């Protein structure tokens, strides 16, 4: 699987940075299409509201827990990736007078908005799973990779036309990974500009 991923990256970037933009446009927008489709499907399932209520109704006492704030800060730094240099590398292709300040604000807003939107998608499915398994939503959820690779696929497997939804979901994950990797490959090769065709 790793070899296949590198092969896809090779064919995506073999003609240089110029062609990577077209690939990134698809890889960056396709997950939004899948998320919208999964949300529409999720809110048609029985018990979806139970999951959404669990998602949007806060537990105020948790705000006193330092670990919650630490996890939130870790998630923001991980999702924005300011220390990786990829954002800086991509910004270096902008015209000299480009408004990078505006772009930085937009990237942060879009990133956080996407996370909130994806939460509705995930928790509508978790509400459905809690209903069909007769459990509380907090008992269905698992943090980390278990949510993406165990709980959510199990919920998709219980849906009608599960094969299609499973394909879209995992293709979305692959698209997200390849999108990130394209940026990292470009960043790494910017130090060696002769490697790219003009």
DSSP state of 99: -
Check the annotation: does 179 bind a ligand. Answer: yes
Phi, psi of 16 (to 5 degrees): 110, -175
Contacts of 191 (CB under 8 A, 6+ apart): none
Cβ-contact 126, 133 below 8 angstroms: no
Rounded to 5, what percent of the chain is helix, strand, coil? 80, 0, 20
Check the annotation: does 35 bind a ligand. Answer: no
Contacts of 132 (CB under 8 A, 6+ apart): 46, 47, 158
Cβ-contact 176, 27 below 8 angstroms: yes
Check the annotation: does 39 bind a ligand. Answer: no
Check the annotation: does 94 bind a ligand. Answer: no
Check the annotation: does 79 bind a ligand. Answer: yes
Residue stretches of the annotated binding site for Na(+): 79, 111, 176, 179-180
Residue stretches of the annotated binding site: 79, 111, 176, 179-180
């Amino acid at each position: 699987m790793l070899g296949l991923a590198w092969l896809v990256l090779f064919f995506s970037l073999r003609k240089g940075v110029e062609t990577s933009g077209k690939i990134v446009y698809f890889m960056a927008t396709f997950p939004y299409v899948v998320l919208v489709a999964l949300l529409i499907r999720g809110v048609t399932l029985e018990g979806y509201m139970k999951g959404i209520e669990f998602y949007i109704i806060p537990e105020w006492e948790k705000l006193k827990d330092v670990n919650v704030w630490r996890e939130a800060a870790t998630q923001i730094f991980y999702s924005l990736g300011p220390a990786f240099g990829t954002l800086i590398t991509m910004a270096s292709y902008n015209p000299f007078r480009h408004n990078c300040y505006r772009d930085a604000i937009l990237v942060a807003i879009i990133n956080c908005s996407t996370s909130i939107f994806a939460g509705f998608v995930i928790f509508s499915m978790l509400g459905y799973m809690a209903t069909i398994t007769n459990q509380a939503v907090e008992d269905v959820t698992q943090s980390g990779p278990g949510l993406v690779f165990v709980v959510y696929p199990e919920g998709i497997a219980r849906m009608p036309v599960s094969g299609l939804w499973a394909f879209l979901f995992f293709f979305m994950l692959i698209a997200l990974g390849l999108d990130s990797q394209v940026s990292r490959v470009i960043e790494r090769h910017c130090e060696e500009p002769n490697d790219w065709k003009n």
